[in-house]
């Protein structure tokens, strides 16, 4: 992995390389912006080093709670389910976030989520399931080994990034709680906490908090569907959805709900936040589809971040975000312009 990264680095045209002064400037800025919240740069999980994630020493890292560290450190790369595209720099992945609970600007979450309390954390399992209850995140994670997977993340706003997540298949979690035969859908809910999340207090917001998302059972059971607790070898930063988030790489980013407190199994299709807010723009499925435009953004192409100003890194969007082989069968016979 580290060898591959170095080789790629040498292939980057010099015009694409950030000049040293700009780079240092950036490091200083990050330091200034986050110094209050930055955790001491101690014992970096060994996996991050082994996987070659180059996180500059002065950027914040998120070791996570003590009970999680050993797990993060022992994660293993799942090469089969990882893409070989070049990774987004860590700096970009932790500073460019849609997490509307903390503000609607991409830079709001990193500014306002640093003190967000993510440990201890409880998750409610409810609905059509044999073992409902309130569980500590620690207990939910206990039996699962973590994998490292490099996925493409495609936002409906037509930008994309490539991010290495640490997590485990949602299917494994679902099996443990034994859903009944009535369970056709899984609904996820983000924490509702007006004290900590400023946008949940906004008088001008149109989203009915808490944020809710959902999957059909077969989508949830697909091997690609990941419950993530980390990225770049570390725990998830709060702005990226700590301590527990969903990652569904063949769907637009808004399906990959953050900071989950409830997993509910139901017989009927759950109502989802963006679909309630603007049903003509956001469907339940939200599969990445270059053939079906969003009213505001063409979905035929995307800007892969980082993108340079004068030659934006525009690439063609792939059906199902490039994961068609693994997931296209789930939608056989469906009109995807209707079930967008």
Partner 1 sequence: MLCLSPLAALFVNLLDDNLGADPAKIIVKELGFWAITLLWLTLAVTPVRKLLGWRWLMSFRRMLGLYTFFYAVLHLLAFATFLIGWRWDILLTELTKRPYIVVGALALLLLIPLTLTSTKAMQRRLGKHWKKLHSLIYPISLLVMLHFVWQIRSDFGQQFIFAIILAILLGYRLYLKGRSS
Residue ranges for the known binding site for Mo-molybdopterin are 97, 100-101, 155, 190, 240, 245, 256-258
Residue of 65, 306, 319, 322 that binds partner 1 (CB under 8 A): 306
Spatial separation of the C-alpha atoms in residues 46 and 217, rounded to whole Å: 35
Q: Kindly state whether residue 301 participates in binding partner 1, applying the rule CB under 8 A.
A: yes
Residue of 120, 143, 279, 312 that binds partner 1 (CB under 8 A): 312
Q: Kindly state whether residue 15 participates in binding partner 1, applying the rule CB under 8 A.
A: no
**β-strand partners of 37:** none
Say if CB 180 and CB 115 are below 8 A apart.
Answer: no
Instruction: Give 273's contacts (C-beta < 8 A, 6+ positions apart).
Output: 207, 208, 211, 212, 213
Phi, psi of 71 (to 5 degrees): -60, -45
Region of 6-14, 64-72, 179-187, 201-209 interacting with partner 1 (CB under 8 A) = 201-209
Residue of 47, 91, 151, 252 that binds partner 1 (CB under 8 A): 91
Which residue carries 């070989």 as its tokens? 84
Say if CB 111 and CB 60 are below 8 A apart.
Answer: no
Region of 55-63, 95-103, 257-265, 323-331 interacting with partner 1 (CB under 8 A) = 95-103
Cis ω before 210 (30° cut-off from 0) = yes
CB of 148 to partner 1, least distance (A): 22
Q: Kindly state whether residue 292 participates in binding partner 1, applying the rule CB under 8 A.
A: no
Class of residue 36 by CB neighbours under 10 A (exposed 0-12, middle 13-18, buried 19+)? exposed
Residue of 309, 332, 333, 338 that binds partner 1 (CB under 8 A): 309
Cis ω before 120 (30° cut-off from 0) = yes
Q: Kindly state whether residue 307 participates in binding partner 1, applying the rule CB under 8 A.
A: yes
Spatial separation of the C-alpha atoms in residues 210 and 190, rounded to whole Å: 6
- What are the C-alpha distances in Å from 213 to residues 203, 274, 296? 22, 8, 21
Q: Kindly state whether residue 204 participates in binding partner 1, applying the rule CB under 8 A.
A: yes
CB of 26 to partner 1, least distance (A): 5
The residue (of 296 and 329) whose beta carbon lies closer to partner 1 is: 296
Residue of 35, 134, 180, 298 that binds partner 1 (CB under 8 A): 298
Q: Which residue from 242, 217, 251 is spatially nearest to 340, judged by alpha carbons?
A: 251
Element (DSSP H or E) covering residue 71 = helix 66-73
The residue (of 126 and 307) whose beta carbon lies closer to partner 1 is: 307
Q: Kindly state whether residue 198 participates in binding partner 1, applying the rule CB under 8 A.
A: no
Region of 48-56, 94-102, 120-128, 144-152 interacting with partner 1 (CB under 8 A) = 94-102
Q: Kindly state whether residue 96 participates in binding partner 1, applying the rule CB under 8 A.
A: yes
Q: Kindly state whether residue 206 participates in binding partner 1, applying the rule CB under 8 A.
A: yes
CB of 54 to partner 1, least distance (A): 16
Region of 6-14, 87-95, 123-131, 217-225 interacting with partner 1 (CB under 8 A) = 87-95
Phi, psi of 44 (to 5 degrees): -70, 135
- CA 169 to the chain's CA centroid: 14
251 three-state secondary structure = strand
Say if CB 227 and CB 170 are below 8 A apart.
Answer: yes
Binding site for partner 1 (CB under 8 A): 22, 25-26, 29, 91-92, 95-96, 100, 104, 106-107, 159, 199, 202-207, 277, 293, 295-298, 300-301, 303, 305-307, 309-312, 314
């Amino acid at each position: 992995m580290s060898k591959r990264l170095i080789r790629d680095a040498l292939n980057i045209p010099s015009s694409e390389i950030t000049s040293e002064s700009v780079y240092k400037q950036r490091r200083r800025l990050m330091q200034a912006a986050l110094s209050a919240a930055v955790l001491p740069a101690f014992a970096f999980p060994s996996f991050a080093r082994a996987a070659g994630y180059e996180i500059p020493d002065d950027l914040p890292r998120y070791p996570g709670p003590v009970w999680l560290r050993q797990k993060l450190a022992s994660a293993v790369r799942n090469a089969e389910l990882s893409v070989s595209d070049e990774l987004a720099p860590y700096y970009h992945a932790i500073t460019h976030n849609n997490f509307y609970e903390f503000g609607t600007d991409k830079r709001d979450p990193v500014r306002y989520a640093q003190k967000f309390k993510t440990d201890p954390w409880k998750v409610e399992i409810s609905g059509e399931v044999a073992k409902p209850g309130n569980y500590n995140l620690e207990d939910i994670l206990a039996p699962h080994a973590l994998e490292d997977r490099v996925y493409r993340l495609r936002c409906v706003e037509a930008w994309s990034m490539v991010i290495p997540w640490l997590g485990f298949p949602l299917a494994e979690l679902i099996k443990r709680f034994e859903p009944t035969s009535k369970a056709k859908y899984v609904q996820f809910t983000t924490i509702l906490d007006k004290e900590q999340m400023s946008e949940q207090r906004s008088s001008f917001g149109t989203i009915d908090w808490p944020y809710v998302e959902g999957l059909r059972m077969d989508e949830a059971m697909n091997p690609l569907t990941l419950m993530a607790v980390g990225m770049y070898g570390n725990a998830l930063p709060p702005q990226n959805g700590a301590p527990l988030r969903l990652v569904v790489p063949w769907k637009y980013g808004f399906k990959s709900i953050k900071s989950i407190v409830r997993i509910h199994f139901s017989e009927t299709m759950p109502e989802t936040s963006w679909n309630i807010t603007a049903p003509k723009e956001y469907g339940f499925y939200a599969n990445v589809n270059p053939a079906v435009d969003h009213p505001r953004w063409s979905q035929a192409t995307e800007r892969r971040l980082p993108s340079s100003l004068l030659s934006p890194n525009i690439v063609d969007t792939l059906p199902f975000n490039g994961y068609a082989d693994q997931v296209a069968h789930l939608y056989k016979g469906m009109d995807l312009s209707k079930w967008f």
